A and B are shown apart, each in its own frame.
Chain A
């Protein structure tokens, strides 16, 4: 590869990143104006925050699936940890920090920290595996997290925090409050998530991922993805880099979980099951592995789509399934792809992987 091509490639990459930021910001500004002038329907307004959360989920999973090249089927587990720890943190801060955006920001940091810790602990065994076995172990961890959270009780009283497993043995003093109630989840959440906060988190997630991908670490990720053995032979510490990507991804998913949960008055562990993990994976694959803008667009489109299909009543989910299959077939059909590539200034098709 000549120097000139390399510089060119870098320029294309920089343009892609710039376009991604610009499009996300433009979309935010337009939607925010439409929302505050009430042009936007209630239905769309209600979806703004969850869409942001799903975008962050998709971008963070894309780091593992697209950039690192490892299939994770348990991403919702990290979202769940973030949701529960974040909501609990926000609850505890309620009287100390009356300013909601700051409280949400702190809660998201707590959520990210807990999810990152979980990501680290899970990463130790998971990253020793490869391919589909790694995928199934992440699925298993996702299910374990769900099962544990379904049996987790957390309460607070004047004596501090108390928690217990399996049954409510927190024995709170009078005036104490049970925050997490096992299978009943959390009730009475103060809804402090807002669209601007969601936008901010999306931009932060993009910045973190782009910086990581275009750093020394990012090049290592891609080397590992494209040829693990070659990467190892030139002295790349595979475990370390894999762990870095995995933990970053988990932390972002945790923050997204917190944003998501604080948008509803109630949350249960069952929400973050295998199906949610799969949903996020669909965003990533449909948007294109390694393509962050694609993930963002796919997350928004696939969250809005089932709502727009409501007019078809009973046939709604059937139609959704058909459209999903059609989209996958279309995205992998060379004729359809060439047609769309004409509109894509950043098409970089030549190095597309061959089916193996």
Chain B
């Protein structure tokens, strides 16, 4: 029963990683860019929701919607000012700019909202589903997170598979030059990707802080790196891969803590990642691109 409980904890943690990883993987898949500022957009989303719900007494749903709106807007602005001018630049230049954006968001948050941690009001409630006479408990946040993940995953898969915009995104992801020749507006498509990714970040932020309710300007950065790892684990660029990678990473982390060593759990998580990448160099569900000779 303990094992099962740990498994559930792992799933809870993993679902949070997964939802952050979805945003990472989406942006990477299309813009081919490691957006290290993603974690900080998450933090901004959580703050917006926090202020909407606990200071201005908006209903949680309105809080989430507002957070999504603000983050989408933020994503568009950041993309326009910081990433778009670098479209032709080497990919490392964009990576460094993303880090600059990450510092910028963290320090702006520090000035605006102070360094004192805030306790986030759960938008879902603190309840839990009890099974087997209460021996197992599955919190509502976890259920909502997993459902949200699956919904987002299905929507994204449908969107990229069936809509004009989505198809344009996939085309850009495969070959920007060819996409341009086919009359796709590559710039607009990539901007759109950032807008969607940032909107997802807001949802992730709200759920992250609902599950683990403290909120500081640095809240997004470490889960961001873990989620990035999860995205690579599942095969970066693959949408179902992000979900699988996130859940697995969460479960591995909890099991490593419980059965190997709480001190070395992070080392174990990263070691597993390395082994997986050695066996499957493109991650679990990633597609190995054939080399063009």
Contact = CB atoms under 8 A, between A and B. Distances in A.
Interface of A: 65, 71, 125, 128-130, 132-133, 135-137, 139-141, 143-144, 147-148, 150-151, 166, 229, 274, 278, 281-282, 285-286, 289, 314-315, 317-318, 320-322, 324-325, 328-329, 331-333, 353-355
Contacts of B93: 285, 328, 331-332
19 contacts: A125-B274, A130-B281, A135-B34, A139-B225, A140-B229, A140-B271, A143-B267, A144-B267, A147-B267, A150-B263, A166-B261, A278-B36, A281-B92, A318-B107, A320-B103, A325-B97, A328-B86, A329-B97, A355-B88
Given A137-B277, A318-B111, A329 B103 contact: no
Contacts of A166: 261, 263-264
B286 to A, nearest CB: 9
B270 A133 contact: no
B61 to A, nearest CB: 33
Contacts of A151: 263-264
B263 A325 contact: no
A285 B104 contact: no
B interface, how many residues as a size bin?
Answer: 35 or more
Which of A141, A147, A148, A354 is the most central at the interface, judged by chain B CB atoms within 10 Å of its CB? A147
B178 interface: no
Contact of A332 (B36, B86, B232, B273): B86
Contact of A282 (B86, B99, B108): B99
Contact of B236 (A132, A143, A282, A320): A132
Interface in B238-293: 261, 263-264, 266-267, 270-271, 273-274, 277-278, 281-283, 291, 293
Contacts of B28: 132
Given A128-B278, A328-B96, A331-B93, A318 B104 contact: yes
A140 B281 contact: no
Given A282-B96, A328-B93, A332-B86, 11 more contacts: A135-B34, A136-B229, A147-B266, A278-B99, A315-B111, A321-B100, A321-B107, A324-B100, A328-B97, A328-B100, A355-B88
A129 B267 contact: no
Interface string B89-114: 11011011101110110011001000
Nearest to B33: A132
B264 A147 contact: yes
Nearest to A317: B107
B21 to A, nearest CB: 13
A279 B228 CA distance: 19
B126 interface: no
B282 A133 contact: yes
B92 A317 contact: no
